[in-house]
Chain A
Amino acid sequence: MPSGPPAPAPPFARLLIANRGEIAVRLIRACRELGISPIAVYSEADADAPHVRLADAAVLLGPPPAAQSYLDMGKVIAAARQSGAGAVHPGYGFLSENAEFARRVEDAGLVFIGPPADAIARMGDKAAARALMEQNGVPVVPGAQALPDDSALAKAARAIGYPVLVKAAAGGGGKGMRVVHKPGDLAESAAAARREALHAFGDDRLILEKYLAHSRHIEFQILADRHGNTLHLFERECSIQRRHQKVIEETPSPLLDDALRRAMGAAAVAAARAVDYTNAGTVEFIVDPDTRAFYFLEMNTRLQVEHPITEAVTGLDLARWQIRIAAGEPLPFTQDNLHQRGHAIECRLYAEDPASGFLPAAGRLLHFQPPSGPGVRVDSGVQTGSEVGVHYDPLLAKLIVHAEDRPAALQRMQTALAETIALGLATNREFLQDVLAHPVFIAGQAATRFIEDHLPDWRPQEIPAAALIAAALAELHASVVSGRPPADSDPHSPWARPSSFRLGGGR
């Protein structure tokens, strides 16, 4: 059998993935491709989860609450040592942006697949990061930090001008974040933000920012090796958000032209260099579509949920590069070698009810059938029969499409969403379909307030007769198979007795 050049030796024999769900599955695949043996961790709630079964070995961390399992640094590091792993990948969420965890992993003689602990700490403190960016010539949103009490907060808010955004200084991921439209609401919103921040980060310091209502959220992917090469892999536009969390992302951004893209890319690289960043990271900006001014928001010092769309248009595998960079490999390409090819969109399929404030749903996934086809990628951590619980993020799957241009990508995503079947839980599938079909989104003009402005009272479509009839026929069929009459049918009807009729007229 003909063979190519010998495969390079894997950088680590075993790698522990300190995460769950779709990202754990995605990282298991990256390990396999590199010849690394993947080790999973899990909580009691995830004993039957796909990531546990796909890994070579899996270590039980503890009970379902994240604090006693996926967030317990001691248990995760012990699992890595016990399983003989040479490296730990934190995924996103959980311990991924925890500088102490990164430090403790390195102190245990293991390689942390991510940036240096110091870079995480410096970007993790939103107040310090704002100041550092200003020093490095990266524009920041007008705002204020170091606000010791409510009166300092009120004074700063008055100076900035309402509406303002109250944010946790240690924050990220929308936690501890509140928009405040008038002075009278400031104290209560700040109290709620402090509680959320204290609970999520153990730190209740707040910062204030001017709230730009019609801004666009555009972020740049960074890849930096340990040899001084810091590159950007272009942008992702993530303006479609509910509760400050992204639901649809795309690249290229319909807003950017080449000049603005170059300017923002250079600012993103400068931001990363300011903290001696290595590995994959994301610099988030907000952009005012009228003035085309852009402002640094924060840097996420980890792999993003939406990284697959960048992989689609650049052709680079970010998870593999994270591991190779951590093993000391230099990037073999330069900024000039990188190009965006075609258009990619990601939709996050959540177990949540868009008709009642996007409240998370829990329960059993009775049937799950993801879409497939040319240019369609599905990253999912669930399957038919999975229990979706209350302890973790209700993300079921990410649908990613890649096509030659934006209209083709939109059509491809609509087809993929229509093909997706998830029964047993409320999901946001129909909501995603309606966002993609909205004229403002199609025109590429959706800002971060899109959902509040354009789909505030979203309702599902009215049920057609065919769907009700399907339910009734399914119920009848089940009753024939089980020999029991359908529960809600008329008990006096002769048709309700299984012996008295044959479904389908003897077919």
Chain B
Amino acid sequence: MKFAYRVDGRDLTLTLEKTPSGYRARLGDAVHEVEFIGVEGDQIHFRLDGESVRARAAAGPGDRWVALGGRTWRIEKAQAARRAHDAGAGGGQVAAPMPGQVRAVLVAEGDEVTQGQPLLLMEAMKMEIRIAAPRAGRIAALRAAEGATVNKDDILVEIT
């Protein structure tokens, strides 16, 4: 079985092959023997190369969160991550970097903009963030109005 993940912007492929006692895990050049012990609530217990591992895991919409050894990782499924990436970084699309409120819209549809020109001001609680044009072009669509509440990754502006 192949698991295509993305963690912190990096693509990682893990394979698990069935063995008599559990699985053989391959990650890059490394090979590990895995013996699954059980799942209890959000706790997953297994042996990795003979060492007992207890991790916490929870599934979100397109990702899985794992806490292990005092650290936490967000593990995106690569398909979901690619979709989100394509939606956000498709050249002229400008997405909200955080959830919050649109405080000011500084451009109008049809405007010519230069790279780095401020397009919008957003605010989330105590911070004002300036959203700048990723490249030069013309404003093809303005998807956010002043005062609108937006979620992270919502498309705010399209530049052609």
B152, closest chain A residue (CB)? A362
B1 touches A417 (CB 8 A): no
As a 0/1 sequence over residues 65 to 83 of chain B, the CB contacts with chain A under 8 angstroms (1 = contact) are 1111111111101110000
Q: Is the C-beta of B86 less than 8 angstroms from some C-beta in chain A? A: no
In the bound complex, residues from chain A placing their C-beta under 8 Å from that of B39 are 473-474, 477
Q: Is the C-beta of A360 less than 8 angstroms from some C-beta in chain B? A: yes
A427 touches B1 (CB 8 A): no
Which of B107-115, B117-125, B133-141 binds A? B117-125
Other-chain contact of A199, B21, B32, B123 (Cβ < 8 Å):
B123
As a 0/1 sequence over residues 188 to 225 of chain A, the CB contacts with chain B under 8 angstroms (1 = contact) are 00001001100110000000000000000000000000
B71 touches A360 (CB 8 A): no
As a 0/1 sequence over residues 231 to 251 of chain A, the CB contacts with chain B under 8 angstroms (1 = contact) are 000000000000101000000
A474 touches B128 (CB 8 A): no
Query: In the complex, A477 Cα to B101 Cα: how many Å?
Result: 39
Q: Is the C-beta of A118 less than 8 angstroms from some C-beta in chain B? A: no
For window 405-460 of A, CB contacts with B under 8 Å fall at 417-419, 421-424, 426-427, 429-430, 433, 459-460
B66 touches A467 (CB 8 A): yes
Other-chain contact of B73, A200, A361, A463 (Cβ < 8 Å):
A463
Interface size class of A (residues with CB under 8 A): 35 or more
B59 touches A474 (CB 8 A): yes
Query: In the complex, A466 Cα to B67 Cα: how many Å?
Result: 10
A389, closest chain B residue (CB)? B99
B123 touches A459 (CB 8 A): no
Q: Is the C-beta of B60 less than 8 angstroms from some C-beta in chain A? A: yes
As a 0/1 sequence over residues 33 to 55 of chain B, the CB contacts with chain A under 8 angstroms (1 = contact) are 01111110010101010000101
In the bound complex, residues from chain A placing their C-beta under 8 Å from that of B103 are 195, 199
Q: Is the C-beta of A148 less than 8 angstroms from some C-beta in chain B? A: no
B125 touches A489 (CB 8 A): no
Query: In the complex, A65 Cα to B125 Cα: how many Å?
Result: 11
Assuming the contacts A360-B125, A362-B99, asked whether A487 and B75 have C-beta atoms less than 8 A apart, the reply is no
Q: Is the C-beta of A174 less than 8 angstroms from some C-beta in chain B? A: yes
Query: In the complex, A444 Cα to B156 Cα: how many Å?
Result: 44
B88 to chain A, nearest CB (A): 13
Q: Is the C-beta of A367 less than 8 angstroms from some C-beta in chain B? A: yes
B31 to chain A, nearest CB (A): 10
A417 touches B70 (CB 8 A): yes
Label chain B's interface by main secondary structure.
strand
B56 touches A423 (CB 8 A): yes
Q: Is the C-beta of A504 less than 8 angstroms from some C-beta in chain B? A: yes
B55 touches A463 (CB 8 A): no
Label chain A's interface by main secondary structure.
mixed
B70 to chain A, nearest CB (A): 3
B56 touches A359 (CB 8 A): no
B71 touches A460 (CB 8 A): yes
Q: Give the A-B pair count, Cβ closer than 8 A.
A: 202
In the bound complex, residues from chain B placing their C-beta under 8 Å from that of A505 are 20-22, 35-36
Query: In the complex, A417 Cα to B128 Cα: how many Å?
Result: 29
B55 to chain A, nearest CB (A): 4
Q: Is the C-beta of A52 less than 8 angstroms from some C-beta in chain B? A: no
Query: In the complex, A418 Cα to B127 Cα: how many Å?
Result: 29
Q: Is the C-beta of A364 less than 8 angstroms from some C-beta in chain B? A: yes
Query: In the complex, A245 Cα to B126 Cα: how many Å?
Result: 9
Assuming the contacts A417-B70, A489-B2, asked whether A459 and B8 have C-beta atoms less than 8 A apart, the reply is yes
B98 to chain A, nearest CB (A): 4
A195 to chain B, nearest CB (A): 7
B101, closest chain A residue (CB)? A390
Q: Is the C-beta of A146 less than 8 angstroms from some C-beta in chain B? A: no
In the bound complex, residues from chain A placing their C-beta under 8 Å from that of B18 are 495, 501
B31, closest chain A residue (CB)? A465
Query: In the complex, A5 Cα to B5 Cα: how many Å?
Result: 64
Q: Is the C-beta of A175 less than 8 angstroms from some C-beta in chain B? A: yes
A366 touches B65 (CB 8 A): yes
Residues of A within 8 A of B (CB): 173-175, 192, 195-196, 199-200, 243, 245, 355-356, 359-364, 366-367, 369, 389-394, 417-419, 421-424, 426-427, 429-430, 433, 459-478, 486-490, 493, 495-496, 501, 503-505, 507
Which 4 pairs of residues, A with B, have the shortest CB-CB distance? A418-B70, A470-B55, A366-B58, A423-B65
| Given A419-B70, A460-B73, A471-B66, 6 new contacts (CB under 8 A) | A195-B121, A359-B124, A361-B98, A363-B60, A472-B1, A495-B16
List 25 A–B pairs whose Cβ atoms lie within 8 Å, in order of A's numbering.
Answer: A361-B99, A366-B58, A367-B42, A391-B149, A418-B70, A462-B8, A465-B27, A467-B66, A468-B5, A468-B27, A469-B32, A469-B34, A469-B46, A471-B5, A471-B66, A473-B44, A474-B57, A476-B1, A488-B2, A489-B2, A490-B1, A493-B2, A496-B1, A504-B35, A504-B37
